[in-house]
Amino acid sequence: METLTIHALHDKLVRREISAVELAQKYIARKDAVEPQVQAFLSDNRENALAAAAVVDKKIAAGEDIAAMAGIPGAIKDVICVAGQNTTCGSKMLEHFKAPYNATVIEKLNALDYISLGKTNMDEFAMGSSTENSAYQITHNPWNLDCVPGGSSGGSAAAVAAGSAVWALGSDTGGSIRQPAAYCGVVGLKPTYGLVSRYGLVAYGSSLDQIGPFTTDVTDCAIVLNAIAGHDKKDSTSIPMEKKDYTKALVNDVKGLKIGIPEEFFVEGLDDTCRKALEEAIETYRKLGAEIVPVKLPHMKYGLAAYYIIAPAEASSNLARYDGVGFGFRVDGTDIVDMYRKTRTAGFGPEVRRRIMLGTYVLSSGYYDAYYLRAMKVRTLLKQDFDKALSQCDVLLTPTAPDTAFRIGQHDNDPLAMYLGDVCTVSLNLAGLPGISIPCGYKDGMPIGMQLIGAALGEETLLRVAYTFEQNRTDLRKPLPMGEVEL
């Protein structure tokens, strides 16, 4: 049995081997079977999903063409607004918040007859690397239920790995798509900043946030990217550009392409088994005719420190809106400032409060130059490093994370240790570059992720290089850890 993909299921729908309603029912049953253990979802959208599936079946019956994603069950990270549905961001602050409008990505997916089985769990306001910071539940890694799925989009990654959704959307501010994709053995893409509209994505770090897909293969990744990419007038940071068909980039050939290996990613701290898997991946590319080029990113080692100044600074500003006035949760106080403080102290969890305080500190009078301004200058140097390396190479190849998924509770009470795990991913967000994580091996049964980094708007090359690896390393294919979905 094969892992079911968007493209395989689309063919089955078109050939009428299964109806969209039957398909939705199969996935709802699957979700019901695995959710007690995985706990990837915060909400259940089965009624809307079945209604949307019936619409797809009508179109098929009428002989109409259906979109590649039409009728294929997916899931949406609970940081993306879906009109009329709860959008909690994993926070008590938004427990009863119903989005009054659709995010642009949801409008685009609606036009393609998409189906969502529900909103997925996440670290509160996307702050975290394990999904343990959710105010609601702990999500478990389908490969080992004692391990975290990664974060902050851990619910989306776990839903796809558990087979309770064929695809999912996440958001990535410092690695929140790529790291959980690596931990859960699926494909995760953070697009170029500005390729996908952020309208309706609840803001964390506005200069860093991007929405992107989780899928089980690279072809599906291109299909979901086709659905969500494109200029949007409602997002002033959205890049004006022609629409592309990313599935055309799925070419099984890397001959003559230059793949850069930044030595700074392969230093002390990278697990030995992970290193070995990556070296084998590099060897695979070499055998397929790619040119392997050692490159240097001299400011890479400062990326994490710059990120954990810039992201909390932006967060402290963005989260000022949760003041007990507009969004439901309020704790009464003796005066308005007391109301603000009580509301925010009770409504936010400890990690969110920590980042707001950290961000407030680095922006405060007397510290702005020493921290925030300096971090923004280091960001410039880091971006120049990437620009230089990517002028010599088509893509860069690195680990997605220094190790495989850690155990639930392992980093409790040590936030800095949790941050240090983001060392491979945050720099891309600072530089605005696209990155994809694909599985490249296993350590004690847990998946290892490989990150490929492209130039700005270089998604096509990125997908081609990822696709070629996937097509040539079929030895890495394993059934879904909780068993394939049976139709």
* Residues in touch with other proteins (CB under 8 A): 96-98, 100-101, 192-194, 207, 233, 236-237, 239, 299, 301-302, 304-306, 308-309, 316, 320, 323-330, 332-333, 335-337, 339-342, 344-345, 348, 353-354, 356-358, 360-361, 364, 371, 373-381, 383, 415-416, 419, 430-433, 456
197 is an active site residue: no
Task: For other proteins, give the closer residue by CB, 185 or 312.
Answer: 312
Task: For other proteins, give the closer residue by CB, 164 or 427.
Answer: 427
What tokens does 179 get?
């790291």
Residues facing residue 201 across a β-bridge: 80
CB of 362 to other proteins, least distance (A): 8
CB of 302 to other proteins, least distance (A): 6
Q: How is residue 373 annotated by DSSP?
A: I
Which is catalytic among the residues 19, 129, 176, 238? 176
Task: For other proteins, give the closer residue by CB, 200 or 481.
Answer: 200
Task: For other proteins, give the closer residue by CB, 74 or 434.
Answer: 434
296 is an active site residue: no
Task: For other proteins, give the closer residue by CB, 23 or 428.
Answer: 428
CB of 236 to other proteins, least distance (A): 4
DSSP string, 292-338: EEEE--TTGGGHHHHHHHHHHHHHHHHGGG-SSSSSS-----SSHHH
Secondary structure class of 475 (helix, strand, coil): helix
266: left (phi over 0), alpha (psi -120 to 50) or beta: alpha
Residues facing residue 437 across a β-bridge: 188, 451
- Distance, CA of 266 to CA of 271 (rounded, Å): 9
* Cβ neighbours for 449, distance < 8 A, ≥ 6 positions apart: 178, 179, 181, 182, 183, 185, 399, 400, 401, 437, 438, 439, 440
CB of 27 to other proteins, least distance (A): 30
187 membership: H or E segment, kind and range: strand 187-190
- Distance, CA of 415 to CA of 129 (rounded, Å): 10
Determine contact, residues 229/246, Cβ cutoff 8 Å: yes
Vertex 324 angle, CA 342 and 107, to 5°: 140
CB of 298 to other proteins, least distance (A): 10
Which is catalytic among the residues 152, 164, 238, 316? 152
From residue 394, alpha-carbon distances to 37, 278, 378 in Å are 41, 18, 24
CB of 399 to other proteins, least distance (A): 20
CB of 211 to other proteins, least distance (A): 15
152 is an active site residue: yes
**H and E: helices and strands count for the chain:** 15, 10
Tokens 């500190």 sit at which residue? 361
Task: For other proteins, give the closer residue by CB, 53 or 93.
Answer: 93
Task: For other proteins, give the closer residue by CB, 161 or 456.
Answer: 456
Q: Which residues are catalytic?
A: 77, 152, 176
